[in-house]
């Protein structure tokens, strides 16, 4: 028999005889520990039973010993199983004492129970945690049939009752995660109980055992083994069987596992936890769908497919590719899939994500404008972005788009104000920035700056703002961002800490402080708005310690003072360029009452040039027709020259295809004659969009803003509108202006990251600027129109 003098030392010796960092060392170490534990318990059984056969009695293991993945100092969870009346109560108690006391004498922590098979069934039915644990019950010694009976009975009941117990399991998991936090983002995590920890892998196996949903394999199994390795190292370096990776143990555990430093260890822990958590979320989602399907099914069940656009459909709560949609030859499909999934606050189905990641061709470098536009829309989706980005990252897609992302993925932050790893903080900042899009004139650049502001937090960096600026520049070049816009985003990355540092560490009334703000934003009020929004998004994403009411008030005071100083010398907004001369052929066709439409492909998007006699409502009619035909307006410039409207529209079509000249010409002609039937489809699209939005969780930035740009023009009133883009928005604004008897002399329409930023140069009929009363009326009507949907 194994010497009873020092079982704990023997277990530690087994752990220490194998290098922790050698390939395959972890599974081999745990197998050796399990074998030793089983052998020792078998010997204890032989001694406790005096070598006699005890009919109807057996010793069984649950927990890590049963799974054969226990650590050097893990507890033993044992069950003394017996059939009714197999032994008398006194004999059973004596047998248990002869088993348990030697284990305690060795200093091994023990969780023990004495039960019949029916009692196991009763306990599993009443206690969800016990049910999950008993699914792993494994024979140790005695009558194996007794253990097999308990195992099969518990498994049968688990499968039979899983449908009704799943909501309780989900609630229990959520409560545990709320108590223990997210393992991926904790500096002192509980490796077992936190979200993405070892306990979640046990739940994954239990869900698979319920036959509600299969669980992922491969990468998630490797992640589990990684966490087990770290747990084993904690046992060895602390000499205790605990599961918390304390700060004081980081260096020792990292050295034992062969890491250069503790940050590398925490990065691997975070990556593994993220993969387990993501796998559990997806498996729970599919299990819930299976549960609902079993409840509601009457006869054969056909999948319900709700179109999302771009060939994607909503099926069982996930975005999936529709029949016949081939990723090969469509490099933007994965971007568009991510966009529609995030907008609808759902994840991309794992098989669909794998298919897209494997088969979508690389996006050409630099990215074409259509790709950059979709990427901007993706970043603007709000909270729905988080889970979709996580899936893309775990599938390796994000690193293909942004190779520099690998350096910050799962990287820990030891600053006490931060609650997330670097990469997750970047995404949280983007989400926070999506709620501030109305505060700035270039929402797309704000979102890019939010995504990249901490990209310089790489190993060895001393000033991540300075380090990150050239890294951001490389990323933006690859994404196809123009030179002027790229320079601005790089400046925002470089200066993203300037405002909060000055607000909290300098005198905001000192002229030198204001001079530093001016230099940081290049003397531009628009840039000041961008930097202020980025500062708030960054601080609020970091955590409550970084964004207090006091810090917010200091920032507001500094920005208000700086804005007043900059406004004294602020340049007037740029005027629009004149329209190009209209060709004689176009003029001759317009003269006989025929509009002219010219379609030009632009690599995934289309330019639509519309020429017609200028008339009240032409702008609204054109916008309405484009929306009715399923086109999304990316930008537009509306100009008038000598009574001829020359309007340039840039559109994209989620459903595929291209704008057609004939329907647009016929539609404009009928609308000019008073026939509104060409816009009937727009109402149907609005109803569909309203239905879709009820499923989505919006990062709504608030109500519409409409404001007058003072001194922007001497001959017209300039109104800027900031609103959430939607089908027919431009049409609605145009109709509103027409009803107010206002002419759109010129306009600049832009859609950045799902936000409409539209500037209208309007006059009264006769070409005069609006008097104050009419301005107030127009602004009020526009706001009511935009917020009325």
| pLDDT mean over 377-405 | 95
pLDDT above 60: residue 430: yes
| pLDDT mean over 548-572 | 81
Segment 14-34, tens digit of pLDDT: 877 557 778 788 899 999 999
- The confidence score (pLDDT) of residue 700 equals 47
Average predicted confidence (pLDDT) for the chain: 87
Asked if 611 and 644 touch (Cβ cutoff 8 Å), the reply is yes
Asked if 635 and 751 touch (Cβ cutoff 8 Å), the reply is yes
Q: Are strands 318-321 and 347-348 parallel, antiparallel or unpaired?
A: parallel
- The confidence score (pLDDT) of residue 506 equals 81
What span, in angstroms and rounded, lies between the C-alpha atoms of 208 and 253? 33
| pLDDT mean over 468-487 | 96
Which tokens go with 355?
């298919």
- The confidence score (pLDDT) of residue 741 equals 87
- The confidence score (pLDDT) of residue 574 equals 38
CA 103 vs CA 9, 44, 73, 99: distances in Å: 14, 9, 13, 7
- The confidence score (pLDDT) of residue 696 equals 45
Q: Is the peptide bond before 243 cis (omega within 30 degrees of 0)?
A: no
Asked if 514 and 481 touch (Cβ cutoff 8 Å), the reply is no
Which tokens go with 70?
């226990």
What is the pLDDT confidence band of residue 688, given thresholds at 50, 70 and 90? Answer: low
- The confidence score (pLDDT) of residue 580 equals 67
Which tokens go with 476?
């933006």
Report the interhelical angle of 498-505 vs 511-520 (nearest 10°).
170
| pLDDT mean over 300-325 | 84
What is the pLDDT confidence band of residue 575, given thresholds at 50, 70 and 90? Answer: very low
Segment 608-657, tens digit of pLDDT: 999 999 888 888 899 899 888 888 877 677 777 778 888 888 887 877 77
pLDDT above 70: residue 196: yes
- The confidence score (pLDDT) of residue 702 equals 56
Furthest C-alpha separation in the chain: 112
What span, in angstroms and rounded, lies between the C-alpha atoms of 90 and 100? 15
Q: Are strands 76-82 and 57-62 parallel, antiparallel or unpaired?
A: antiparallel
Asked if 535 and 489 touch (Cβ cutoff 8 Å), the reply is no
Segment 724-753, tens digit of pLDDT: 887 788 889 989 998 898 887 777 777 766
Share of the chain above pLDDT 90, in %: 57
- The confidence score (pLDDT) of residue 69 equals 93
What span, in angstroms and rounded, lies between the C-alpha atoms of 301 and 478? 46
What is the pLDDT confidence band of residue 372, given thresholds at 50, 70 and 90? Answer: very high
| pLDDT mean over 645-671 | 86
What is the pLDDT confidence band of residue 317, given thresholds at 50, 70 and 90? Answer: confident
Of 76-85, 259-268, 744-753, minimum mean pLDDT range: 744-753
Q: In what order do the strands lie in the sheet with 717-724?
A: 596-601, 606-613, 644-652, 632-641, 742-752, 755-764, 717-724, 705-708
Number of DSSP helices (H) and strands (E) in the chain, helices first:
30, 16
- The confidence score (pLDDT) of residue 549 equals 80
**What DSSP character marks residue 190?**
B
Segment 104-141, tens digit of pLDDT: 999 899 999 999 999 999 999 999 999 999 999 999 99
| pLDDT mean over 667-695 | 75
Token pair 């143990």 in the structure block, residue: 249
What span, in angstroms and rounded, lies between the C-alpha atoms of 182 and 93? 42
- The confidence score (pLDDT) of residue 453 equals 97
Phi-psi region at 759: left, alpha or beta (left = phi > 0; alpha = psi -120 to 50):
beta
Which tokens go with 169?
């399991």
- The confidence score (pLDDT) of residue 292 equals 62
pLDDT above 70: residue 49: yes
Token pair 């799962």 in the structure block, residue: 410
- The confidence score (pLDDT) of residue 9 equals 83
pLDDT above 70: residue 570: no
């Amino acid at each position: 028999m194994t010497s009873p003098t020092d079982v704990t030392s023997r277990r530690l010796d087994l752990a220490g005889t194998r290098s922790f960092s050698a390939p395959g060392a972890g599974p081999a170490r745990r197998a050796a520990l399990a074998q030793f534990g089983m052998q020792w318990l078998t010997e204890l059984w032989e001694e406790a039973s005096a070598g006699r056969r005890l009919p109807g009695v057996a010793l069984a293991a649950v927990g890590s010993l049963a799974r054969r993945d226990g650590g050097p100092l893990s507890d033993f969870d044992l069950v003394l199983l017996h059939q009714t009346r197999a032994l008398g109560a006194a004999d059973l108690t004596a047998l248990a004492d002869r088993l348990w006391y030697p284990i305690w004498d060795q200093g091994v922590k023990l969780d023990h129970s004495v039960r019949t098979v029916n009692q196991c069934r009763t306990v599993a039915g009443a206690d969800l945690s016990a049910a999950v644990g008993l699914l792993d019950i494994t024979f140790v010694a005695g009558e194996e049939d007794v253990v097999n009976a308990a195992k099969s009975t518990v498994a049968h009941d688990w499968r039979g009752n899983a449908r009704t117990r799943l909501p309780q399991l989900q609630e229990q998991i959520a409560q545990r995660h709320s108590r223990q936090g997210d393992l991926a983002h904790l500096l002192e995590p509980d490796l077992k109980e936190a979200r993405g920890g070892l306990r979640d892998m046990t739940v994954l196996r239990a869900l698979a055992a319920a036959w509600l949903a299969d669980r992922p394999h491969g990468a998630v199994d490797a992640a589990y083994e990684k966490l087990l390795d770290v747990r084993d190292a904690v046992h060895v370096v602390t000499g205790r069987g605990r599961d918390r990776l304390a700060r004081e143990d980081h260096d020792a555990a990292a050295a034992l596992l062969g890491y250069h430093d503790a940050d590398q260890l925490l990065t691997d822990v975070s990556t593994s936890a993220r993969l387990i958590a993501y796998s559990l979320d997806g498996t729970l989602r599919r299990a819930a769908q299976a549960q609902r399907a079993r409840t509601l099914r009457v006869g054969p069940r056909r999948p319900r497919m709700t179109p999302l656009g771009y060939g994607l459909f909503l099926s069982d709560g996930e975005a999936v590719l529709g029949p016949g949609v081939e990723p090969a030859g469509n490099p933007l499909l994965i971007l568009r899939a991510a966009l529609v999934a995030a907008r609808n606050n759902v994840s991309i189905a794992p098989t669909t994500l794998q298919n897209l990641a494997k088969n979508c061709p690389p996006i050409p470098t630099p990215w074409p404008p259509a790709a950059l536009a979709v990427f901007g829309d993706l970043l603007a989706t709000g909270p729905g972005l988080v889970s979709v980005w996580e899936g893309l990252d775990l599938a390796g897609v994000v690193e293909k788009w942004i190779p520099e992302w690998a350096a910050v993925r799962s990287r820990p932050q030891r600053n006490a104000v931060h609650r997330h790893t670097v990469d997750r903080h970047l995404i949280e900042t983007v989400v926070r920035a999506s709620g501030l899009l109305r505060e700035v004139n270039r929402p797309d650049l704000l979102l890019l700056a939010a995504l990249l502001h901490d990209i310089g937090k790489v190993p060895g960096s001393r000033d991540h703002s300075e380090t990150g600026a050239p890294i951001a520049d490389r990323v933006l070049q690859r994404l196809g961002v123009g030179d002027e816009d790229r320079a601005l985003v790089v400046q925002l990355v470089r200066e993203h800490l300037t405002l909060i540092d000055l607000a909290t560490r300098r005198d905001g009334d000192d002229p030198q402080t204001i001079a530093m703000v001016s230099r940081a934003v290049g003397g531009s009020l628009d840039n000041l708005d961008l930097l202020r929004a980025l500062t708030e998004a960054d601080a609020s994403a970091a955590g409550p310690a970084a964004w207090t009411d006091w810090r917010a008030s200091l920032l507001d005071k500094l920005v208000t003072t700086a804005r007043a100083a900059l406004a004294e010398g602020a340049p007037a907004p740029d005027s629009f360029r004149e329209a190009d001369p209209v060709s004689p052929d176009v003029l001759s066709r317009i003269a006989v009452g025929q509009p002219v439409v010219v379609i030009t492909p632009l690599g995934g998007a289309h330019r639509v040039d519309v020429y017609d006699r200028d008339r009240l409502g032409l702008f609204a009619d054109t916008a309405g027709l484009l929306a009715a035909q399923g086109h999304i307006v990316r930008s537009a410039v509306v100009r008038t020259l000598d009574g001829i409207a020359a309007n340039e529209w840039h559109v994209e079509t989620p459903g595929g295809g291209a704008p057609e000249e004939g329907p647009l010409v016929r539609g404009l002609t009928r609308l000019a004659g008073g026939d509104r039937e060409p816009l009937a489809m727009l109402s149907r699209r609005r109803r569909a969009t309203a239905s879709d939005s009820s499923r989505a969780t919006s990062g709504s930035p608030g109500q519409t803003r409409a404001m007058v740009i003072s001194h922007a023009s001497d001959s017209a009133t300039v109104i800027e509108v900031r609103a959430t883009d939607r089908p027919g928005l431009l049409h609605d604004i145009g109709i509103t202006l027409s009803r107010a008897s206002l002419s759109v002399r010129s306009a600049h329409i832009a859609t950045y990251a799902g936000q409409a930023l539209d500037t209208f140069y309007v006059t009264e009929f006769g070409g005069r600027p609006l008097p104050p009363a009419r301005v107030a009326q127009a602004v009020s009507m526009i706001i009511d129109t935009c917020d009325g949907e």
